[in-house]
Amino acid sequence: MTLLSNSSTVAPALDSARMLVRALRLHNWLKNILVFVPAILAKAVDAATFRTLVLAWLAFGCAASAQYLLNDFLDKEHDQHHAEKEKRPQVTGELPARAAVGIALALLVGGTVCAAWLPAGSQLALASYLFLCLAYSLLLKRVLMIDVLTLVAVNDLRLAAGACAASIALSPPLLLAGSFAFLAMALLKRDAQLTGATDDSQRLMVGRPYRRHHLPILRTLTGVAIAASVLLATLVIHELTEQAARPQALWFILPLLGAWLCRCLFLAVRRALSEDLVIFVCTDRYSLITLGGSVLLLIVAG
């Protein structure tokens, strides 16, 4: 009887935990790894810096999950007509609105506590991130191209927060190369969402500005963004070679990056690219090979 009782108690708890993981989209916390990038590339990571960067990672994670809860609440009616989003906890009723608000407030409090230990520059970046996320949820996601530029900006803020947390200057080539790579990924996300839309009005979704006839220009802009990101990445590599023991190894990162971005574009054209790019990267063999290969080349370069 005791075993059965424990089993009946544990199962609902596990279901609730899984539901919260989906509602908070914890897999998207992987995006916050960007806060570590400036310090890693500048070889400025010591124990104290690492602790500060972890706090920045946690603060941005809490802010992001709070924003996801707000966005799901605002889009609840629209998400009911989306093949994947209709499974979100707030849409299915697994997570009541009152509970979602409470969790979001708790996350904001947690993020604020973490941010209290960060330098002023990182705090400003986090506050700007929250402001942009709120503006995106309420308005900017409905404005053509401004929505993707907002997604670029919030990722740039992650880089800026990481640089401030490590007390180093953010490299202009890194910021520019990153911005165009973020732009390419944001456009690919819209491409994947648009090709997956099946409603009669040919809209991406209710309340969004994109239609199917926008696909050619979106793909052209994606190609330009990919080319610009790879070109600007050469400047980043050039900076890194100045302090590398084996600088030649770093240049092999460029073809890996270019090939991966181009493959993503081809997959989008073939309607084979997931609109959740984080899950795509984590589950796609070639993406993992590209990521692992780039990390290995950075280690080999020294």
Give the Cα separation of 121 and 104 in Å (integer).
24
80 and 95 in a common domain: yes
188 and 145 in a common domain: no
Higher pLDDT, 252 or 142: 252
Whether 8 is in a domain gets the answer no
Give the Cα separation of 188 and 268 in Å (integer).
7
Give the Cα separation of 151 and 219 in Å (integer).
17
Across 156-269, where does the E strand assignment appear? none
Whether 13 is in a domain gets the answer no
Higher pLDDT, 130 or 18: 130
pLDDT of residue 20: 78
299 and 191 in a common domain: yes
Give the Cα separation of 97 and 72 in Å (integer).
10
- Of the residues 168, 189, 223, the one at which a domain ends: 168
- Of the residues 120, 152, 168, the one at which a domain ends: 168
Whether 150 is in a domain gets the answer yes
Say if residue 80's pLDDT is above 90. no
* 3-class secondary-structure state, position 61: helix
Whether 11 is in a domain gets the answer no
Residues paired with 211 in a beta bridge: 203
Say if residue 296's pLDDT is above 70. yes
Mean pLDDT to the nearest integer, 259-281: 92
**30, 278 contact by CB (below 8 A):** yes
Say if residue 31's pLDDT is above 70. yes
How many separate domains does the chain show?
A: 2
Say if residue 25's pLDDT is above 90. no
159 and 43 in a common domain: yes
pLDDT tens for 231-246 read 999 999 999 998 888 9
Mean pLDDT to the nearest integer, 82-92: 69
162 and 205 in a common domain: no
User: How is residue 231 written in tokens?
Assistant: 């070109």
191 and 96 in a common domain: no
- As a whole number, the mean pLDDT across the chain is 87
Whether 211 is in a domain gets the answer yes
183 and 66 in a common domain: no
**165, 49 contact by CB (below 8 A):** yes
User: How is residue 287 written in tokens?
Assistant: 């993406």
Give the Cα separation of 163 and 37 in Å (integer).
8
Model's pTM, two decimal places?
A: 0.89
Task: Pick the closest to residue 34 from 182, 242, 167, 150 (CA basis).
Answer: 182
Higher pLDDT, 174 or 192: 174
140 and 234 in a common domain: no
Whether 15 is in a domain gets the answer no
**Quick count: other Cβ atoms within 10 Å of Cβ 59?**
29
pLDDT of residue 1: 46
Rounded to 10 deg, the angle between the 172-195 and 215-241 helix axes is 150
> Could you list the residue range(s) of the whole structural domain that residue 216 is in?
171-302
**189, 224 contact by CB (below 8 A):** no
178 and 160 in a common domain: no
137 and 211 in a common domain: no
pLDDT of residue 26: 86
pLDDT of residue 201: 47
47 and 127 in a common domain: yes
Percent of the chain exceeding pLDDT 70 equals 87
pLDDT of residue 3: 42
119 and 47 in a common domain: yes
pLDDT of residue 202: 47
Whether 4 is in a domain gets the answer no
- Of the residues 149, 168, 187, the one at which a domain ends: 168
